[in-house]
Amino acid sequence: MGEYLGSSAGLGYKIHEAESVFDVTGVFSGMLILTIFVIILDTLVTMIENRLLVWRPGQASTSANG
């Protein structure tokens, strides 16, 4: 939250700037960009995790055994 409010450049700054002049389109555009970025990042981390932790049993096999 501090990076969002205390920044002087970047996406958080643009969202804060749009909020201060009641630019609803700018705020929602920034939030949409952040949402897309987080979804992509989460997908990449999940793919890497699944690739590196192949020895870990999955949820389906754990619930079937117990």
Q: What is the pLDDT of residues 15-60, one digit of tens each?
A: 989 999 999 999 999 999 999 999 999 999 999 998 988 877 765 5
* DSSP output for 1-65: -HHHHH-SSSHHHHHHHHHHTT-HHHHHHHHHHHHHHHHHHHHHHHHHHHHHTTTSPPHHHHHHH
- The band of 5, judged by pLDDT with boundaries at 50, 70 and 90, is low
Say whether pTM exceeds 0.75.
no
